[in-house]
Amino acid sequence: MKILNTKQRLTGAARVAICALACVCALAMPLTMHAQQYSGTITGTVTDPQGAAVAGAAVTATNTGTNATYTATTSDSGVYALAQLPLGTYDVSIKSTSFKESITKGVEVHGSSTTDLNKKLEAGTVNETMVVEASAIQVQTTTAAVGETVEGTQVRELPLRGENFMNLVTLSPGVSTAQSFNGTDKGLGGGSDFSVNGNPYTNNLFLVDGVNNNDVGSQRTILVYPSVDAIAEFKMVRNSYGPEYGQASGAIISITTKGGENQFHGGFFYGGRNDKLDANDWFSNNTSSPKKAELRRSDYGYHVGGPVIKNKLFFFWNQEWNKEVRGVAATACVPTVAEKTGDFSQGLSCGASAPAIPAGLQGANASTIANADPAGLLLAQFYPDPNITPIGTGTDEKNWFLSERTKPSWSEFNGRADYDLTSKNRVTFRWTQDSWKSPGPNPNLFWGDSNFPTVNSDWSQPSKSVVAKLTSQIGSSMVNDVEWGYGHNAIITTLSPNSVALVNATNAAIPNAWPDKLKQPGAYINGGGTWGGLQPYGNGASLWTIAPYGNHEDLYALQDNLSKVRGNHLFKAGAYYSTNAKIEFNNGGADRPSIPTDDNNVTVKTTNQLANLLIPGQLFSTSENSVNGLAQVKWHDFEWYLGDTWKISHNVTLSYGFRWSFYREPYGDDNHWSSWSLAH
């Protein structure tokens, strides 16, 4: 095999992929930097029996799970606000001289929500108590934000396919899923591409305890999938949110994880299915040896939470596993064993044209190639041998079928600790780590993998989400949160073990223009040069695999959110800074020679691409990069906001605010690229 080569020399670290990836990141990244609130607020007005405001009343909210207390004092207008409260159920006490103490039990606080609790005190002494239960149904009257809350009990007890909370996001009004939406699988198999109120699906924002959970590459997957056991609740805010939220013209899906309480709680679950209970599919039944495709799945996990030090230190821990074995039916038309060795005299498959083999290159007859090219013989092995009686004719022919055994798996561990340093200061730390794997074969399941098991890739995606937060109550009217967050994921593909020998032999047989020391080890030929394969053989499957390939993203953020009650106003202010990176290789094999086999790119034209490949001494018009490009894209962002919720009267509330976002342009650590033709 000889190559007419156009060389491309790529220098530095940000090579071939840097331009395209930088453009993609520049479009995608503005959706990923956020200073966000995910706590809740209790607010209301306290009046006397005649409806006059009660000023100076002491308001205390006690978390029923942890006994943590939060205090406020009513203003001259009788208004109070308990801001930035952890999610949970509270007992709210209101005391004032000359009035009975009012205690409201079971007040629920949800994330990104305001709970209204207006109270009319009764005349009496503070030693007298009036106890009521909070209403189970509360109408939101103090904010224009539109959204729905899904509580943890619903997440855990509703039958969710794949134990995936994503199934529930589609139940909100205005949600429309794309065809590629996948609310069952996780990792790279999942898909969060749904539109809200007509906005592009790339404009949605996922948060876990305020930490960015978006994949800034595709913008259609998320970093971690919190276990159903770990979700305290999640809220989808669809419209009219305040200045504390940014970067989401679509929806904000804010997930809050569970923490421990003074009582120990725990549990475990198992769910499974087995193909022994299923009927066979039509195509498998219509093969020469019918075999039911495998489908076996197990979902199981456990959780435990409680106190380490009662009223002081709490923990929550859970693990979950999803394991599946699934037979994926793959079918195609492939060349026969004879055709792959250069003998076209025994018949033609797939509607291929009869090759016009030059006389000097013919073997035993005019339809046979003598001394087929060794590299071409290796490349032809990309196609498996036919294994069924041909079905159909011409380009619609199918002579190969396999129920390929895929084995995707996902697991997660999640740990959270909450420590009350004092009655006014709480520290929270959480670490969530996912591991998703899908060893080959992965027939057409991910980009860069074909139907055929001869050359394929093993895929994995480790992901994590980490948060550390300090919440401080300053006096009776101010609360401050400072939070550090980290989000990460990576995509790692490697050659499946059964592919290594063929790939190494193929690389050794194809000459490189650039030294091997510059090349990415173990990569197959450049897919761009054989895009569409040796048509019509293979039904358009390209001769390539993306492995070895990898990328990862790191999102670091520091934010501070402050709430201050003054008179009838609840002021909010916050600032956010992030530093981020997206590191990505070009496709595996991008530094290998491309091998275009159509008549326009070879010197000996036979009208049959497989024959063109096998012609000894064939010359191909091709290109070759010196190295595999590595994009190292980084960016920094800064935002701040001011907001006010002004309770003008007991039935009129005005919310307004301002948010300023400064998004720096993404940049590469290096950006050098040059190319030239060896003919000049």
* pLDDT range class, residue 450, cuts 50, 70, 90: confident
pLDDT at 124: 83
Q: What percent of the chain has pLDDT over 90?
A: 36
Q: What is the pLDDT of residues 596-640, one digit of tens each?
A: 889 999 999 999 999 999 999 999 888 888 887 778 888 898 999
Lowest mean pLDDT across 83-92, 409-418, 624-633 = 624-633
Lowest mean pLDDT across 160-164, 285-289, 319-323, 381-385 = 285-289
The answer to whether domain 40-133 and domain 146-257 are alike in fold is no
Q: Is the pLDDT of residue 273 over 60?
A: yes
Find the mean pLDDT for residues 480-492. Answer: 94
pLDDT at 21: 37
Q: Is the pLDDT of residue 354 over 70?
A: yes
* pLDDT range class, residue 20, cuts 50, 70, 90: very low
The answer to whether the CB of 565 falls within 8 A of the CB of 478 is: yes
Can you read off the two tokens belonging to residue 549? 């390939």
* pLDDT range class, residue 17, cuts 50, 70, 90: very low
**Domain layout of the chain by residue ranges:** 40-133, 146-257
Tell me which range, 20-29, 558-567, 606-615, is most confidently predicted by mean pLDDT.
606-615
- Exposure string of 281-292, with b = 16+ CB inside 10 Å and e = fewer, is eeebeebeeeee
Between residues 167 and 465, which one has the greater pLDDT? 465
For 146-257, the fitting CATH number among 3.40.50.150, 2.170.130.10, 2.130.10.10, 3.40.50.9100 is 2.170.130.10
HSE toward the beta carbon, residue 632, CA cutoff 13 A: 9
Distances (CA, A) of 225 to 105, 166, 231, 235, 290: 33, 9, 10, 15, 37
pLDDT at 299: 93
Element (H, E) at 308: strand 295-309
Find the mean pLDDT for residues 581-606. Answer: 86
Q: Is the pLDDT of residue 168 over 90?
A: no
Q: What is the pLDDT of residues 53-64, one digit of tens each?
A: 899 899 999 999
Angle at CA of residue 544, ends 540 and 547, nearest 5°: 140
Distances (CA, A) of 540 to 334, 487, 536, 537, 607: 11, 38, 7, 7, 16
Q: Is the pLDDT of residue 170 over 90?
A: no
Fold for domain 40-133?
Immunoglobulin-like (2.60.40)
Between residues 30 and 670, which one has the greater pLDDT? 670
Between residues 24 and 325, which one has the greater pLDDT? 325
* Cα torsion angle, 56, 58, 61, 67, sign: positive
The answer to whether the CB of 377 falls within 8 A of the CB of 611 is: no
Between residues 343 and 219, which one has the greater pLDDT? 343
* pLDDT range class, residue 18, cuts 50, 70, 90: very low
Name the residue among 638, 641, 632 with its Cα closest to residue 667: 632
Query: How is 37-95 classified by DSSP, letter by letter?
Result: ---EEEEEEEE-TTS-B-TT-EEEEEETTT--EEEEE--TTSEEEEEEEPSEEEEEEEE
Can you read off the two tokens belonging to residue 298? 């197990």
pLDDT at 3: 47
Between residues 467 and 8, which one has the greater pLDDT? 467
* pLDDT range class, residue 9, cuts 50, 70, 90: very low
* pLDDT range class, residue 183, cuts 50, 70, 90: confident
Q: What is the pLDDT of residues 112-153, one digit of tens each?
A: 778 888 899 988 876 777 777 766 555 555 555 566 788 888
Find the mean pLDDT for residues 323-327. Answer: 91
Find the mean pLDDT for residues 96-110. Answer: 88
pLDDT at 75: 86
The whole-chain average pLDDT of the chain stands at 84
Name the residue among 43, 72, 78 with its Cα closest to residue 473: 72
pLDDT at 90: 92
pLDDT at 229: 92
